[in-house]
Structure 1
Amino acid sequence: MTATATNATMKEIGRCLMLKQPVKVTESVDRQNIKITVKKRPPNSGGNNTVQGSYNTIFQPLIEELRAKGDKFARTIVYTNLRWCGYAHDLALRPCLSGDFSFPDITNMVAQYHASCTDKMKTAVLQDMTSPSSSLRLLFATEAYGMGADAVDVTRIIHAGPPRTLETYVQEIGRAGRDGMPAEAILYYNASDIASNVAGMTCQIRDFCLTNTCRRENLIQNFGQHLHSKFTYSHECCDNCEKSCQCATCLPKIFIPHECTSGPVLSGRQPSVVTETDILSCQSVTGGKYYYQKVSEVHYLLMQYFRAENMCKPHVPFPSLVTGLTETLAGRISKQCVQYLTENKLISDFPFLDKKYVDNIISIISQVQSTPQNDQ
């Protein structure tokens, strides 16, 4: 029995145990509430680049975000090797330990976890990561933080450098989103990380970093599995799928060709403004106009309003679950905003919305629709 095993690993286990036609009981490794993102970090050398500088591009923004947000910082685990685990922890606490009080004190919000830690330190971190009331928000860890680690409110996993195998990667991103809420896994790499001379680096990880197709499909196919369902919004799947997403959130990336007659598609033509009717039918689009002008404005204002309403419930862990005012809802409403100028239609499609929310949403849409379009 194992938590994660690729096809190649299962074959090797069978060979070692001399199993003939064994029965395999498997379950999908796909965690659809975790968005998968891969980003390139600067090279380790060449020009003004250094190894330390390259890692700082990952660590420094996180530390600055933590200082700015404090206990509102999304609980995050950063996986890296031992050297950079200790370095990142020191980088975060350096101002506090040196007596520089111009920075907020984040001493209790940052920790490290690796094999060299004492048993007492490890136990303290494990307890803090499983406690909703703990002040710990940012954990720098090696792969030693694995078995026995069950933190229910981790919403972001960051890999500062890829792990050697897909099994390790799947296990580590699985620390996020255990409460079922949306989470994100971000992997940073450069050419040195996935070079052929890196000991233990598998071709599966290298292909996963370099693929320009769906990363989720690439990942689970290595485990002999397939996607059970497609995402309603492609940008929720992975960074590659996000590039072709056509939802209201991603409209600024999408243009409509002159000959479009069935719906918005990708185009390299210059954008410009489209009428409300064109937003729905995409018919008679002329002059190369922005498809997203009014829709994206509605979406932006709805998101601002939703955040304000959700912030009015500071004692509720996930206020959007109570209010129903989510990013997905903002996308659905804004994409078809000209249909929601009346109360009946909005209530019919979204009966869970409170009456006051309905009135304010209609007010926002009406305000945008009454604003004259600007020629570009």
Structure 2
Amino acid sequence: MACFLDIEGTGASTCPIGIHRDEKSDEDVDDADINDIIFSNVPIENVREGNNCYLYSHPETLIDKKEIGKMLRGRTMQKLVCAIAVDEVHMISEWGKEFRKSFSRLGQLTSIFPNIPHLALTATSTTADLKLLSKTLDFRETHYIIANPDHPNIFMEIRRRLPNIKKFEKYDALLGEISQEFEDKLQEFPVTIVYCDNLESVGYSYAYMHHTLGERAYCDKDNQTPENRMFSQYHKDYTSKMKSHVISELSKPNPRIRLIFATVALGMGLNVPAVNRIIHFRPPTTMEKYLQEIGRAGRSGQPATAIMFFNNNDITSNRKGLDPKMREFALNTSTCLRIQMLLYFGFKESLFNGQKELCCGNCRS
């Protein structure tokens, strides 16, 4: 069994290993019932007794909760825990200083379990960052396994958008093109995630599509429910039910949902093979975030596209958190975008070996 600790460390839920959503057809069970079938709540005593093969937890639970810390140092856990893995370890650098400080204290786990293997995983860290993260995690005798982060099946392109003074026109210009393609293709529209500036732009984009498409936005015009709409939104304030529906749909080989307007809440750990395109209405603040977000397209190896829009306001030096390298990337109109990105991560060669015009917008022009 796999066990998931709640963030307060007072309870947990378990899931049988090897259970997958596709073991039940869409007709057998709806999204709301799947969690009831797969997951079951268990008391914290179940965790203390070591009844699970895998234990998943938020950093805050392991680091900040005294009872959990006591449990980890106890005889049972000291005997049974055979390895610790920290996934998406680059979030220590991104969140550990201010937002979620427990991330930066995960090195305590190395001290609590000094005699077992520790594994840290990331797809978006530079060589310098890896060494800093190893130090933060208090790793010793560290072995680095590094692979080229290139996504050769993703065509990258950067385009200008209207300035921010055109508050709604800057969105209308982008949404007009998207909605026209959507009307033309409907259920053949390439599955697309649009990362918006903020919650306001998510809401505006969603309302624009709803107004433009009307009943054509639904898979079944006689059943115009949110679950049958071919576009959706995703953000931290969205209902848990609809978040679950969106993830469940995107996880299917041919989802009903074809277009998602999202904030970065639709983020880490997302493995949705059907996504064919990522659109950024505004550049991410770092190259790491950009690589992470475009990597959500083309997961099955199919040709995919990443389009990033920007204006001068988006890359101004006083934008909070903006890395100068992201500004250089946005302004690059002459050299290969793929090579520029890879050089940032310490790689000189691309994995792309196709036709030049299929590499990136700069290579095409």
TM > 0.5: yes
Q: Could you give the per-residue CA deviations for residues 295-323 of structure 1, whole angstroms, max 9, x where no partner exists?
A: xxxxxxxxxxxxxxxxxxxxxxxxxxxxx
Code of the residue aligned with 1:34 in structure 2: it is I
Counterpart amino acid of residue 79 in structure 1: Y
Higher Cα Rg, which structure: 1
Shift of 1:20: 8.0
Query: Given the alignment, which residue of 317, 326, 330 partners 1:205?
Result: 326
Report the counterpart of residue 347 of structure 2 in structure 1. 225
Query: 1:81-96 counterparts in 2 under 5 A?
Result: 81-95=198-212
After superposition, the C-alpha distances for 1:99-137 in whole angstroms (9 at most, x for unaligned) are x66xx3346110011111121111000001112343211
Q: Counterparts of 1:141-290 in structure 2 under 5 Å?
A: 141-211=262-332, 212-229=334-351, 231-243=353-365
Helix, strand or coil for the counterpart of 2:243? helix
Aligned to 1:260: none
Unaligned 5+ segments in structure 1 are 244-376
Residues 150/229 of structure 1: CA separation in 2 closer, same or farther (3 Å cut): closer
Deviates more, 1:115-124 or 1:127-136: 127-136
Name the aligned partner's letter for residue 238 of structure 2: C
Cα distance 1:136–1:230, how it changes in 2: closer, same or farther (>3 A)? closer
Q: Alignment partner for residue 160 of structure 2, among 35, 40, 49? A: 40
Amino acid at match of 1:105: A
Distance change (3 Å), C-alpha of 1:40 and 1:14 = same
Distance in 2 (alpha carbons) for counterparts of 1:11 and 1:198: 28
Tell me how far 1:18 sits from its aligned partner.
Answer: 6.2
Deviation at 1:236, TM superposition (A): 1.1
Structure 2 counterpart of 1:13: 133
**1:79 aligned to 171, 181, 195, which one?**
195
- Counterpart AA for 2:337: R
Which ranges of 4 or more aligned residues in structure 1 deviate by more than 6 Å? 18-21
Distance in 2 (alpha carbons) for counterparts of 1:8 and 1:90: 43
Q: Distance in 2 between matches of 1:92 and 1:34?
A: 26
- In structure 1, the partner of 2:84 is none
Distance apart, 1:194 and its partner CA? 0.6
1:115 aligns with 2:236: yes
Offset of 1:150 from its aligned partner? 1.7
1:105 equivalent in structure 2: 217
For residue 173 of structure 1, what is the amino acid of its counterpart?
I
Identity, in percent, stands at 36
Partner of 2:33: none
Count of residues in correspondence between the two structures: 234
Map of 2:149 onto structure 1 = 29
SS at match of 1:153: coil
Amino acid aligned to 2:364: E
Q: Does the residue aligned with 1:5 lie in a helix, a strand or coil?
A: coil
Distance 1:141 1:237 in 2: 26
Q: CA RMSD in A?
A: 2.1
Instruction: Name the CA distance, whole Å, in 1 between partners of 2:272 and 2:290.
Output: 17
| Aligned residues of 1:7 and 1:222 also touching (Cα < 8 A) | no
Amino acid at match of 2:199: L
> How many Å separate the matches in 1 of 2:189 and 2:297?
15
CA 1:64/1:230 → structure 2, altered by over 3 Å: closer, same or farther? closer
Note closer, same or farther for the CA distance 1:133–1:239 as it changes in structure 2 (3 Å cut). closer
Distance 1:21 1:208 in 2: 35
Per-residue CA deviations over 1:129-184 (Å, capped at 9, x if unaligned) read 11234321111111111224222121111000011111111111111111111111
Paired amino acid for 2:157? T
Deviations 1:66-110 (A, max 9, x none): 1221111111110113221121111111256xxx66xx3346110
Number of the residue aligned with 1:60? 176
Matched-pair contact (CA < 8 Å) for 2:233–2:260: yes
- How far does residue 11 in structure 1 lie from its aligned partner after superposition? 4.4
Q: Is the 8 A contact 1:159 1:187 kept in 2?
A: yes
